[in-house]
């Protein structure tokens, strides 16, 4: 059956309608897409505004935190050097070696390959000088954070880095080193494993020894390049300051060796040697024995960590006699040409007093009194000085006061209170020959410096100041108080010189040099009682007499033996120190009995 025919006009109408519908649909779609694009654009603009305006500070802080590396202070300390720049204490870089077994691999290994602990141990055993089995035991079954070793030096750390083993981490830290070992331990002290100062100058001058450090902030680019415009001023400032001591390592070593030999020879408890510059109180030597190694302090008794020359008291005995004669001269109760009668024995307040040899010396002048070390002569001489005035002088000299010094732990001496001293005649009598009161070896050296320098009480000290390069920021010099007349001290020095020329100090005589001195052999108080046969032997010297510059003091505690005296125990040590001092300080020989010149600060 034939299809019905559609007219052309109807066909065109249909096509037109379809075209209009498609056009309408297309326009709607475009509008919709356009609207979506506009909304997206406005969203992007809004987001950019949000990020760049409102969120900018937060995002910038995050970026800086990612790009910035902070270095925390390590607590480094300044070095300590002696008077000639020789290192006494310093910080050295050391390393701890940490292992993380879950990351173990060798250079060139395939990604994901984890090496076994025994393979790592085979590489490290030779470097660490540890058995492989021990390293494997340390690693155990831990996945991370195993400390294998510490105290590694830079050379060893570099060798470990060269192995290129993943999973090994080197942590740097400062370690305090004492290159002179025990030589300065008694005054410098040490830091413990936590770097906390435990003794000596390390403790008393802790704040001065801390380097000026701060947290450093360094910005880097994506490739690690530093960004110089972000460095804070002073970020890379280096604190190169060093604390300089007055001590001389060469002389200290000589004194320590000579002292140790005598302490061993005489089976003594301990000994100390001091050399002081009488013009300013600087100590060139402060040596003690027994001592310890601050690098291995854990191997020694804590009782050795103090310096007994400034912390322990003793009765000086005859080495104090020149001080007493100076007081008598100052007060005018004796004269340079005077004399005293020594009958060998006195009874004071019911107590008998004898000379050390229990002999009478007859009429003697004061030079002879010191030569024979007459106790009876001293008691009679000081009895001329009013006890009240005598006590006032001992107090003025600071016997019962803590000395002004930078030495750590210094203590005051012990002196009977004024009422007891004045009311009981035995107190001033025993004090006249150096017993019945106590002081430290440092205080005794200071008082003999007073005799040597023309009557000035200088401040004993062992630090000069901070060094930067060759420039010394020296501590301000504070002149001491003038206590005695120069002519008084000159007279006493002349008397002391006769002890070296003709008396018990002959052992330090040195051809071409004028040296003054005085020996001492005092009974020692044990638990409040003078114990028979227990002594403290000492000797003090001043040189050169015509222009005094140095005081040398040696004290030895409880030497054993029938012939243990200041002349046999302490003098030989002083002789070796003086011989070294003359050479090291280039002291010219003395001329004839030249005019006395008080030392000048």
pTM assigned to the model: 0.81
Q: Is the predicted pLDDT of residue 600 greater than 50, yes or no? A: no
Q: Is the predicted pLDDT of residue 234 greater than 50, yes or no? A: no
pLDDT of residue 37: 83
Tokens coding 468: 């930067």
Among 93-107, 286-300, 370-384, 518-532, which is the least confidently predicted range? 518-532
Q: Which of 18-22, 232-236, 563-567 has the highest mean pLDDT?
A: 563-567
Q: Count other C-beta atoms under 10 Å from residue 189's C-beta.
A: 26
* N residues, the chain: 601
pLDDT of residue 514: 96
Among 69-83, 88-102, 193-207, 400-414, which is the least confidently predicted range? 69-83
Distance of CA 542 to the CA centre of its chain: 28
Strand partners, 147: 98
Q: Is the predicted pLDDT of residue 428 greater than 80, yes or no? A: yes
Tokens coding 494: 């002349």
pLDDT of residue 238: 54
Q: Is the predicted pLDDT of residue 601 greater than 70, yes or no? A: no
Q: Per-residue confidence at 218, pLDDT binned at 50, 70, 90?
A: low
Alpha carbons within 13 angstroms on the beta-carbon side of residue 378 total: 31
Mean pLDDT computed over every residue of the chain: 88
According to DSSP, the β-strands at 168-177 and 529-543 are unpaired
Span 94-116, average pLDDT: 90
Q: Is the predicted pLDDT of residue 528 greater than 50, yes or no? A: yes
Q: Is the predicted pLDDT of residue 153 greater than 60, yes or no? A: yes
Q: Is the predicted pLDDT of residue 423 greater than 90, yes or no? A: yes
User: 175-202 pLDDT, tens per residue?
Assistant: 999 999 999 999 999 999 888 999 999 9
Instruction: Choose the CATH number for 73-211+239-245 among 3.90.1310.10, 2.40.128.30, 3.40.50.2000, 3.40.50.300.
Output: 3.90.1310.10
* Residue 290: cis peptide before it, omega within 30 degrees of 0: yes
Span 148-177, average pLDDT: 91
Strand order through the sheet with 516-526? 283-289, 270-277, 550-557, 529-543, 516-526
Q: Is the predicted pLDDT of residue 237 greater than 70, yes or no? A: no
Span 57-72, average pLDDT: 66
Same CATH topology for 73-211+239-245 and 249-292+310-462+479-584: the answer is no
Span 435-440, average pLDDT: 95
CB of 479 closer than 8 Å to CB of 457: no
Q: What is the DSSP letter of 159?
A: H
Q: Count other C-beta atoms under 10 Å from residue 578's C-beta.
A: 22
* Helical segments of 50-153, H only: 56-67, 117-128, 132-139
pLDDT of residue 36: 85
Instruction: Choose the CATH number for 249-292+310-462+479-584 among 3.30.2010.10, 3.40.190.10, 3.40.50.720, 3.40.710.10.
Output: 3.40.710.10
Q: How far apart, in whole angstroms, are the C-alpha atoms of residue 249 and residue 83?
A: 8
User: 485-519 pLDDT, tens per residue?
Assistant: 999 999 999 999 999 999 999 999 999 999 999 99
CB of 64 closer than 8 Å to CB of 219: yes
Element (H, E) at 24: helix 8-49
Q: Where are the domains of the chain?
A: 73-211+239-245, 249-292+310-462+479-584
Q: How far apart, in whole angstroms, are the C-alpha atoms of residue 569 and residue 537?
A: 7
Q: How far apart, in whole angstroms, are the C-alpha atoms of residue 3 and residue 188?
A: 125
pLDDT of residue 594: 46
Q: Per-residue confidence at 228, pLDDT binned at 50, 70, 90?
A: low
Q: Is 26 a catalytic residue?
A: no
Q: Is the predicted pLDDT of residue 554 greater than 70, yes or no? A: yes
Catalytic one of 149, 309, 318, 428: 318
Q: What is the DSSP letter of 436?
A: S
584: left (phi over 0), alpha (psi -120 to 50) or beta: alpha
Q: How far apart, in whole angstroms, are the C-alpha atoms of residue 519 and residue 271?
A: 15
């Amino acid at each position: 059956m034939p299809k019905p025919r559609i007219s052309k006009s109807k066909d065109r109408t249909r096509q037109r309608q379809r075209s209009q519908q498609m056009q309408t649909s297309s326009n709607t779609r475009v509008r919709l897409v356009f609207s979506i694009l506009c909304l997206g654009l406005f969203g992007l603009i809004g987001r950019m505004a949000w990020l760049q305006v409102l969120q900018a500070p937060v995002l910038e802080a995050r970026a800086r935190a990612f790009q910035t590396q902070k270095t925390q202070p390590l607590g480094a300390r300044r070095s300590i050097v002696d008077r000639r720049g020789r290192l006494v204490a310093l910080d050295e870089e050391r390393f701890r070696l940490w292992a993380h077994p879950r990351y173990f691999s060798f250079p060139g290994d395939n990604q994901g390959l984890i090496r076994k602990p025994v393979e790592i141990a085979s590489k490290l055993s030779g470097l660490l000088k540890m058995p492989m089995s021990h390293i494997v035991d340390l690693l155990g079954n831990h996945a991370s954070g195993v400390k294998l070793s510490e105290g590694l030096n830079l050379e060893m750390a570099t060798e470990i880095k060269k192995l290129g083993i993943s999973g090994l981490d080197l942590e740097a830290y400062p370690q305090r080193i004492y290159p002179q070992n025990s030589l300065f331990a008694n005054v410098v002290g040490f830091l413990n494993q936590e770097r906390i100062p435990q003794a000596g100058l390390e403790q008393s001058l802790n704040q001065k020894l801390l380097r000026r450090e701060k947290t450093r902030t360094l910005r880097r680019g994506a490739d690690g390049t530093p960004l110089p415009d972000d460095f804070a001023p002073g970020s890379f400032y280096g604190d190169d300051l060093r604390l300089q001591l007055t001590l001389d390592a060469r002389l200290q070593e000589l004194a320590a060796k000579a002292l140790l030999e005598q302490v061993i020879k005489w089976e003594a408890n301990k000994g100390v040697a001091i050399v002081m510059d009488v013009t300013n109180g600087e100590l060139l030597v402060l040596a003690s024995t027994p001592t310890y190694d601050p690098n291995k302090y854990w191997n020694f008794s804590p009782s050795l960590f103090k310096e007994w020359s400034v912390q322990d008291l003793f009765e000086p005995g005859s080495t104090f006699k020149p001080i007493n004669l100076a007081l008598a001269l100052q007060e005018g109760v004796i004269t340079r040409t005077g004399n005293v009668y020594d009958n060998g024995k006195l009874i004071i307040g019911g107590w008998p007093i004898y000379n050390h040899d229990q002999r009478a010396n007859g009429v003697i002048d004061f030079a002879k009194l010191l030569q024979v070390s007459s106790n009876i002569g001293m008691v009679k001489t000081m009895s001329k000085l009013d006890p009240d005035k005598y006590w006032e002088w001992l107090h003025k000299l600071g016997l019962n006061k803590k000395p002004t010094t930078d030495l750590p732990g210094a203590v005051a001496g012990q002196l009977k209170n004024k009422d007891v001293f004045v009311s009981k005649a035995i107190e001033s009598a025993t004090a006249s020959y150096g017993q019945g009161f106590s002081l430290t070896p440092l205080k005794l050296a200071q008082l003999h410096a007073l005799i040597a320098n023309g009557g000035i009480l200088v401040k004993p000290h062992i630090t000069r100041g901070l060094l930067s390069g060759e420039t010394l920021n020296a501590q301000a010099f504070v002149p001491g108080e003038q206590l005695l007349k120069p002519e008084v001290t000159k007279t006493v020095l002349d008397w002391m010189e006769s002890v070296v020329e003709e008396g018990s100090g002959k052992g330090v005589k040195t051809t071409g040099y004028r040296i003054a001195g005085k020996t001492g052999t005092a009974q020692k108080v044990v638990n409040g009682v003078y114990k028979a046969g227990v002594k403290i032997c000492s000797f003090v010297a001043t040189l050169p007499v015509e222009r005094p510059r140095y005081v040398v003091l040696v004290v030895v505690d409880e030497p054993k033996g029938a012939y243990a005296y200041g002349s046999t125990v302490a003098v030989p040590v002083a002789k070796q120190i003086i011989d070294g001092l003359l050479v090291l300080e280039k002291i010219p020989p003395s001329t004839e009995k030249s005019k006395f010149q008080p030392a000048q600060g």
